[in-house]
């Protein structure tokens, strides 16, 4: 696989950076090159304007390091909104700073969460025998809210009952599930792929 060539700022002695005209510290941010010259507010506004018609929720995460990877995926696939349903702060380290550009909205109870059905179709992501439908045959609809449970326990029973559909990623090896970082990336990619082909 070819290594991606990243644009680097000109930091030579004759460059504008050395003459005080460019703040080269902005190149340290983990953003795509087209955002390097933009403020956090400008990036947030541009992402909202170009977002895909889906949202993501992470439910009751205790060991939440993988949740940060899921939030990073939500930014990468430009979700409209990101929610966290739980009772504690989440570990931001694995999100690599994307919370500066993609807001994570905390929801304290499932009763509060249920209000989101007014603007989203709620779809759970889990492998539940007799309930889940395979991702390969699932047709996504605009304005879907994808819910990811903890890797060990999956979606809670109240959430399972509340979801319109539950989608599973087909697996062919011996492990019983993907972690959230992997699963959320696969799911969001499939959603965006289908929306692009509408």
Sign for the CA dihedral angle at 105, 48, 98, 151 comes to positive
What is the radius of gyration, based on Cα positions, of the chain? 19
User: Is 66 buried (19+), middle (13-18) or exposed (0-12) by CB count in 10 A?
Assistant: buried
**For residue 165, what are its two tokens?**
């559909």
Tens digits of residue pLDDT in 66-109: 788 898 899 999 999 999 998 767 666 656 677 777 888 999 89
Domains of the chain: 15-50 (no CATH), 52-196 (3.40.1280.10)
* Cα-to-chain-centroid distance, residue 10: 33
Residue 73 burial (CB count, 10 A): 24
Q: What are phi and psi of 19, to 5 degrees?
A: -95, 10
| Best-predicted range by mean pLDDT (3-7, 10-14, 98-102, 158-162) | 158-162
Tens digits of residue pLDDT in 154-188: 899 999 999 999 999 999 998 888 888 899 999 99
Tens digits of residue pLDDT in 34-54: 777 788 888 878 888 999 999
**For residue 155, what are its two tokens?**
């979606």
Which pLDDT score, from 0 to 100, does residue 187 have?
98
CA distance linking residue 146 with residue 182, whole number of Å: 14
């Amino acid at each position: 696989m070819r290594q991606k060539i990243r644009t680097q700022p000109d930091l030579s002695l004759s460059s504008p950076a050395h003459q005080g005209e460019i703040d080269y510290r902005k190149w340290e941010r983990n953003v795509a090159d087209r955002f390097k010259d933009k403020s956090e507010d400008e990036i947030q506004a541009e992402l909202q304007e170009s977002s895909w018609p889906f949202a993501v929720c992470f439910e009751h995460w205790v060991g939440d390091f993988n949740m940060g990877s899921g939030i990073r995926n939500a930014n990468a696939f430009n979700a409209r909104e990101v929610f966290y349903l739980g009772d504690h702060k989440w570990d931001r380290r694995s999100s690599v700073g994307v919370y500066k550009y993609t807001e994570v909205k905390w929801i304290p109870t499932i009763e509060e969460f249920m209000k989101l059905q007014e603007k989203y179709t709620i779809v759970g992501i889990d492998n539940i025998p007799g309930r889940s439908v395979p991702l390969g045959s699932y047709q996504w609809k605009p304005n879907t809210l994808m819910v990811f449970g903890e890797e060990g326990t999956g979606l809670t029973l109240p959430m399972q009952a509340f979801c319109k559909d539950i989608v599973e990623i087909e697996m062919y090896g011996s492990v019983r599930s993907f972690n959230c970082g992997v699963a959320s990336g696969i799911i969001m990619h499939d959603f965006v792929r289908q929306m692009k082909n509408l």
